[in-house]
Amino acid sequence: MRVLVISDIHANSTAFETVLEDAKNQWEYVWCLGDVVGYGPDPNECCDLLQSLPHLCLAGNHDWAALTRLDIRTFNADARRAVNWTRETLTIDNIAYLEALPTTFVLGSYTLAHASPREPIWEYILDPLIAALNFPHFETPYCFVGHTHTPVIFQLTDDRGDTEAHQPVYRQPKHLNGQRLIINPGSVGQPRDSNKDAAYGILHVEDAVFEHRRVPYDIKATQDRMRKHDLPERLITRLEHGW
């Protein structure tokens, strides 16, 4: 089975639709690693579109924030404004959908979490040290995470816990080879690695072959809808810079 691996759509339906078009007919199932909503202008459209696909989805911190499950006083002012708008905008059905999302999932050789296997909602795996501390917290060879909005592969290189970070080589299938890896596909709707293109991945589950991908989308279309809904300007401009 081939799986479309996506994360951090963040209510950006233009980016989401572009990813689906780019990966058309190349997958049978979707793994979504959370943060379907928050920041962007299309929370209901993204929930509806995801639910129309054969998929599983995890809860992210922004999904929980929209459900008032999290105290958002730690969010910055722009994020708080976007969370409040998202809360007011989500339909009852989509709130119920987000309420039911699990925080982790284990499928065969793969563990899935939004943020990290150790702290599925909160922890940012931004460097090899944090990745190293997470390898003891899952039992499968491979773990997929999102949350940082940065595509990367962390590899455990020995049993002392030494860990390396590998930058993705886009559109080049990579054999995972039974090594212990933490893989981040990057963010569909709000990339933060100075590359403004939507990020996603394709996994061949049985062969353990993964391919990181990027695809440009119509950023201005998303920005125009954000302005229409009076979302914070900083959240609008960041999309065109990829941070």
Site for Zn ion, rule CB under 5 A: 8, 35
Please name which of 1, 15, 3, 25 lies closest in space to residue 49, comparing C-alpha atoms. 15
Q: CB 194: neighbour CB atoms within 10 A?
A: 9
Task: In angstroms, give the least distance from the CB of 40 to Zn ion.
Answer: 10
Q: Which residue is nearest to Zn ion (CB)?
A: 35
CB-based contact 112:33 (threshold 8 Å): yes
Question: Cβ closer to Zn ion: 64 or 142?
Answer: 64
The tokens for 224 are 């125009």
Question: Cβ closer to Zn ion: 10 or 225?
Answer: 10
The tokens for 41 are 């202008």
Task: In angstroms, give the least distance from the CB of 189 to Zn ion.
Answer: 9
Task: In angstroms, give the least distance from the CB of 192 to Zn ion.
Answer: 9
3, β-bridge pairs:
29, 203
Q: From CA 4, how far away is CA 24, in angstroms rounded?
A: 10
Question: Cβ closer to Zn ion: 176 or 219?
Answer: 219
Task: In angstroms, give the least distance from the CB of 8 to Zn ion.
Answer: 4
Question: Cβ closer to Zn ion: 75 or 105?
Answer: 75
